[in-house]
Amino acid sequence: MHIKGTASAKIQVMNAALTGFTWLLVLQLAGEAVVRLTGVPLPGPIVGFVLALGALGLAPPLRAPLRAAADALLPHLSLLFIPAGVGVVMYLSAIREDALAIAAALVVSTLGGLAATAWVAERVARWQDGRSRARAEDPQ
Amino acid sequence: MSVDLFRLWVYLAATPLLGLTLTFVAYQLGLWLAARAGGHPLVNPVLIAMLAIAGLLAATGTPYRQYFEGAQFVHFLLGTATVALAVPFFDRLAALRKRALALTAGLVAGNVVALGSVVLLMTTLGAREATLRSMVPKNVTAPIAMGISESIGGIPTLSAVFCVLTGVLGAATGKLVFDAIGVRDLSIRGFALGAQAHGIGTARAFYVSPEAGAYAGLALGLNGIVSALVLPPLVSVLR
């Protein structure tokens, strides 16, 4: 009885994921349509992302299926980058000119960019926390 | 025997099934090695799978185009996954609103440092103009970066290469950088990964925790939209 219960719960989650996946495709398609129709300089999936946000906010029944689909898809985001990555590795030998400048600029800007983003965000967050704590302690 | 094997390979290499299966098997190999390394960021599953497949293709003389016939089914899902990033974002709207100022400040600071160092190093080391322009959108998700690259006089394919390299580099070194500067907050670490190492950084963040992944997805989307709107006019003003 108990085993039956968990099995049917699993099937329900899978059904929800499939419904959610259908909605993801519909939203992606709608995103592509918007890009074609309006000519905004963004890729269809990014517009689909914005449309999905709207759908989540305006249509609460879509939340559970979209969550199930996202939970199935996003933990394996890495897998989806492999085909493009292979293309890059095969293309690498073609980049001989400017190789030193490219390597230096990529390493410095990536490490520097990561450090600057995280450091500044944390400083500002701490400053905000400190201010709201001070306000809570001294309501005047 | 070896002639038969060769014929079999030639036959299989021409069907999409081989490229597709290869992608999944290489990913499993990457996951297995990453798990054996205790999830160490330098042992990145994407990087391992990329190198393994590229090595195999080079060794067998199989053209990339042939591999992609099968791998395109996986590649296609990138767009769908991008739409799915709206879910973790939506689920944290309240927390995000509280952090909006800090995250925006971080996003701006990171982009100023990244863009500044690219221009400075590429100019001093004498890189060509087109290479420099191609590198400007390197921390933007690849499909947007290619569009930006085209509109600012870069080479879109080269930009995609820089994007993937930046993503792998950021995903592999993020932990070391954050530990070195003492930033422990998982949401901020995730946000920085998404902002500077876009999709591959976001994939790494999801590997660490759903919380970090959610903030990475937000940063990826935000950075993509802002860059698409800001970079083309900015470059035309500067030059």
B62 phi-psi bin (left φ>0, alpha ψ -120 to 50, beta other): beta
When the pLDDT of each residue in chain A is averaged and rounded to a whole number, the result is 87
Do residues B148 and B225 lie in contact, with contact meaning Cβ atoms separated by under 8 Å? no
Beta carbons of B84 and A66 less than 8 Å apart: yes
What angle is formed at CA B111 by the lines to CA B110 and CA B115, rounded to 5 degrees? 125
Question: Which residues have C-beta within 8 Å of that of residue A58, sequence separation ≥ 6?
Answer: none
Average pLDDT on B177-195 reads 95
Residue A3 reports pLDDT greater than 70: no
Residues B66-104: b if buried by 16+ CB within 10 A, e if exposed: bbbbbbeebbebbbbbbbbbbbbbbbbeeebeebeebbe
pLDDT in tens, A56-85: 999 999 999 999 999 998 888 889 889 988
Residue ranges of the alpha helices (H) in B125-185?
Answer: 129-135, 142-151, 156-181
Q: Which of A63, A74, A109 faces B117 most closely, judged by CB atoms?
A: A109
Percentage with pLDDT > 90 across chain B:
51
pLDDT in tens, B46-64: 889 999 999 999 998 888 9
In chain A, whose CA is at the least distance from the CA of B120?
A105
Q: Which of B126, B181, B219 faces A115 most closely, judged by CB atoms?
A: B181
Residues of A in Cβ contact (< 8 Å) with B159: none
pLDDT in tens, A104-133: 999 999 999 999 999 999 999 999 888 888
Angle between helices B210-238 and B93-124 (to 10 degrees): 50
Do residues A60 and A14 lie in contact, with contact meaning Cβ atoms separated by under 8 Å? no
Query: Alpha carbon A80 to chain centroid distance?
Result: 13
